[in-house]
Structure 1
Amino acid sequence: MLIDSHCHLDFPDLQARLPEVLAHAAEAGIGRMVTISTHVARFETYRALAEAHRDVFFTVGTHPHNAAEEPDVPASRLVALSAHPRCIAIGEAGLDYHYDKSPRDVQRKVFRTHIAATRETGLPLVIHARNADEDMIEILSDEMGRGRFGAVLHCFSSGEQLAQVGVDLGLYVSFSGILTFRNSEDIRRIAAQVPRDRLLVETDAPYLAPVPYRGKTNEPAYVAHTARTLAEVIGATESEIAEITTANFYRLFSKAAAADRQAAA
C-alpha cells in the first residue's frame, strides 16, 4: 500500500470528478490520502470529505498564501477543530516568499500560531516552505527550542541546508512529482541523503503531476510514479519504498494509525 500524504481533494479539478479520482487511487494501490487544509474557513468541506470516504483523512490550517485572509485565527481554534477523529494534523502552514501572496510578517505570525497548536495537540505540522529557507530555519530552530513538535516539510523543493536542519530537528521530508522532473537532480540528491525513516511521498494534487503525466492534472493515483523514482534514488525496490513510506506515515500521523486500528476492531 502507498499513501498520498498530501493532496487537495476539495480543489475544483479533483472535486468535480471525485468518484473517478478515488477509483483511480484504489486501482493504483493508494490506500490512504490526506486532503490538506488551505483555509480554516473551509473546515466543514474537509470534514465532510473525510467522513464520506474512509480512505481520506484531513488537516486544519491556513496556507501561507491565505495568511492575510485568516491572520488572527487563534491556536485555540485550531486545537478545538483538530479534535475531530479524522483530523490528523495541523496545517498546511509556513512561508512562501516566491509568490508573496500574504505579507511576510503575517506569514511568520500565522506560522508560529500553527506551531503553538501543534505543540498543544501533539499532532504533527504540515509545513509549506518555498524560497524562504533562512527564515524557515530560524523559526523552526527557535520554536523547537521552546518545545519539541512533529512536522513534515511537504513537497520538498528547498535547499540542502533546510533538509539537513529539518532532519536534525526530527522532521520528516516529503517528496512530490518534482522528484521525477528531468531538471530535479538537486532534489534527487537531497532525497538520497534523507534517512529512510523520515521519507514520505505525496502528490500535492491537483498540482505537480509526475512524469509521465507532467503538465496534466495530478491526482492521488500518480503518487506511485513518485514512489518509483524515490525507490530508484535510494536503492530500494518499489515494494520496499511502499513499506518504508507507509510505516513512516503512520509513525508521524499517529492519529491516523489509531483511527485505522479502531476501524479494524
Structure 2
Amino acid sequence: MTPTIVDSHCHLDFPDFEGEIDALIDRAAQAGVTRMVTICTKLKNEPTVRAIAEAHAPIFYAAGTHPMSAADEPLATVDELIALTKHPKLVGIGETGLDYHYASESAQIQKDSLRIHIAAARETGLPLIIHARAADDDMARILSEEYHNGAYSCVMHCYCSGPELAKTSLDLGFYLSMSGIATFKNSQEVRDIFANAPVDRVLVETDAPYLAPTPFRGKRNEPAYTAHTAQVGADVFAMSYADFAAQTTANFDRLFTKAAQYQVAA
C-alpha cells in the first residue's frame, strides 16, 4: 500500500490543467495523494474553482485575493469571504499575504487586504493561507498584532522566507508548508528551517503548476509530485516515508478541520 498524503496547496483552475483534471487525479492517487486543496487567487474566479471541487471528490478549495492581485482586484470584505465559507468544500481563507518582491508598490493595499482575510479566518475558524515573499518584518508584525486581537489558525504556504518569520509563525501556533523548493540543491536554508520546526506543524504541497520538485524541476508541477517533496521531508526529519506521510496527513486534518470532517461524513 502506498502511504497516503495531501497536497495542501495547488491551482487546478489554471490553464495548465485544462481538460486534464480526471487524469491528474488518477496520477495523484497512484502516488498516494488522495486529497488536494485548490486555491482561488481572485474572488471573481471563485465559481470556477468551486465547480472543480464540486465535480471531484478528492478536491477541496480555498478562496481569497492573492497579494500580487490586491491592487488590481476589488478589495474583499469580511462578509464576502464569510459568505463563501458556507460551501461545504471551502476549507480555508486565502491565499492572502504580502509580496514585496514582485508588487512592493502595492504594499499598503496588500496589508489592508491581509487584515481583512485574517478577520474572516478569525470569524469562521477556518485556516488562513499565507503567501509571503520579501516581506518578513511586516508579515511577522501583522500576524502577531492580529493574533493578539483574537486567535486564528494559519499555514505559511510554500515556506521559503527567513528563520525569524518561521519562528514567529511557529510561536503563534501556525504551520509551515513544504513545497518543491525544499528539494532543490541550493535550498539548504529552507531544509534547515523545517528541520528546526516541530514535525507536527508541517504540511506538504505542490503549488502546482509552479515549483516542480526535483527531479521535475523546470517542468509543470502537479499534485502527484507531492510525493517527491514528502520524501525530502522524511529525510529532513529522519523519518520513514510512511511515518512522515502519516504525520503530515494528521497535521493537515488538525488544521483543515472542515476537510477532515467532510472526509468522515462522505
> Is TM > 0.5 for Structure 1 vs Structure 2?
yes
Q: 1:2-81 counterparts in 2 under 5 A?
A: 2-81=5-84
Match of 1:103, SS? helix
Match of 2:194, SS? helix
Letter in 2 for 1:122: G
Query: Which range moves more in the overlay, 42-51 or 94-103?
Result: 94-103
Is the Cα–Cα contact under 8 Å of residues 173 and 199 in structure 1 kept in the other structure? yes
| Cα distance, 1:46 vs structure 2 | 1.1
Among residues 209, 212, 215, which one is paired with 1:209 in the alignment? 212
Is the Cα–Cα contact under 8 Å of residues 128 and 153 in structure 1 kept in the other structure? yes
| Cα distance, 1:82 vs structure 2 | 1.2
TM-score by length of 1: 0.98
Partner of 1:143: 146
Whole-Å separation in 2 of the counterparts to 1:248 and 1:192: 16
Partner of 1:262: 265
| Cα distance, 1:101 vs structure 2 | 6.9
| Cα distance, 1:69 vs structure 2 | 2.3
Partner of 1:188: 191
Q: 1:241-260 counterparts in 2 under 5 A?
A: 241-260=244-263
Partner of 2:94: 91
Unaligned runs of 5+ in 1: none
Matched, 1:177 2:176: no
Output the aligned Cα RMSD: 0.9
Identity %: 53
Match of 1:36, SS? strand
Match of 1:68, SS? coil
The C-alpha deviation readout for 1:202-251, integer Å capped at 9, x for no partner, is 00000000000000000000000000001001110000011000000000
Letter in 1 for 2:191: R
Partner of 1:219: 222
The C-alpha deviation readout for 1:78-114, integer Å capped at 9, x for no partner, is 0001110000000000000110176110000000000
Whole-Å separation in 1 of the counterparts to 2:25 and 2:174: 29
Matched, 1:237 2:240: yes
**How many residue pairs get matched?**
263
Q: Runs (4+) of structure 1 moved beyond 4 Å?
A: none
Whole-Å separation in 2 of the counterparts to 1:97 and 1:246: 32
Letter in 1 for 2:149: R
| Cα distance, 1:19 vs structure 2 | 2.0
Match of 1:94, SS? strand
Whole-Å separation in 1 of the counterparts to 2:180 and 2:73: 29
Whole-Å separation in 2 of the counterparts to 1:40 and 1:201: 25
Letter in 1 for 2:21: L
Whole-Å separation in 2 of the counterparts to 1:129 and 1:105: 15
Is the Cα–Cα contact under 8 Å of residues 36 and 60 in structure 1 kept in the other structure? yes
Cα separation, partners in 2 of 1:201 and 1:249, compared to 1, 3 Å: same
Matched, 1:115 2:118: yes
The C-alpha deviation readout for 1:153-190, integer Å capped at 9, x for no partner, is 00001000000110000100001000000000000000
